[in-house]
């Protein structure tokens, strides 16, 4: 009897934790429409073409063996502005286990003159693409 009551209370606790977890997830932005998009997409397009297009293509759809399609990438589209900014500032070496291309993503896309404002504008450009 005690074991049954303990099991029942355990299930109630698990149910409450799951419900709380779903509630918290519902409060966080999961879609582009729910995220705050700052920046100037037009300026971002020019910065993207000048810095990112050599690996990700002028249309941001990627170049096989170089850069991913950032228009459909759950990784890119899931980053809020602060995390996106940090990711581009730091880049991702080919040795990083999360790097799926085997190609270095250099800090600031290999362009040390790329400003934080440029990066915010690039994000706005990416999010403006269909």
pLDDT digits (tens, 9 = 90+) for 14-37: 333 333 333 333 344 444 445 678
- Average of pLDDT values for 72-101? 94
pLDDT score recorded for residue 45:
97
- Assess whether pLDDT exceeds 70 at residue 91: yes
pLDDT score recorded for residue 124:
95
pLDDT score recorded for residue 35:
61
**Predicted confidence band of residue 2 (pLDDT cuts 50, 70, 90):** very low
Annotate the chain with three-state secondary structure.
CHHHHHHHHHHHHHHHHHHHHHHHHHHCCCCHHHCCCCCCHHHHHHHHHHHCHHHHCCCCCCECCCECCCCCCHHHHCCCHHHHHHHHHHCECCCCCCCCCCCCECHHHHCCCCCHHHHHHHHHHHHHCC
Q: Domains of the chain (ranges plus CATH)?
A: 39-128 (1.10.760.10)
């Amino acid at each position: 009897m005690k074991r049954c009551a303990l099991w029942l209370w355990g299930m109630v606790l698990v149910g409450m934790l799951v419900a709380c977890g779903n509630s918290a997830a519902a409060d966080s932005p999961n879609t582009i429409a729910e995220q705050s998009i700052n920046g100037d997409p037009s300026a971002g397009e020019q910065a993207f073409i000048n810095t990112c297009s050599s690996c990700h293509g002028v249309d941001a759809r990627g170049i096989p063996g170089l850069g991913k399609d950032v228009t459909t990438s759950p990784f890119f589209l899931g980053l809020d502005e602060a995390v996106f900014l940090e990711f581009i500032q730091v880049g991702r070496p080919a040795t990083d286990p999360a790097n799926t291309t085997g190609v270095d993503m250099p800090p600031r896309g290999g362009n040390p003159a790329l400003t934080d404002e440029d990066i915010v504008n690039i994000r706005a450009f990416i999010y403006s693409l269909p």
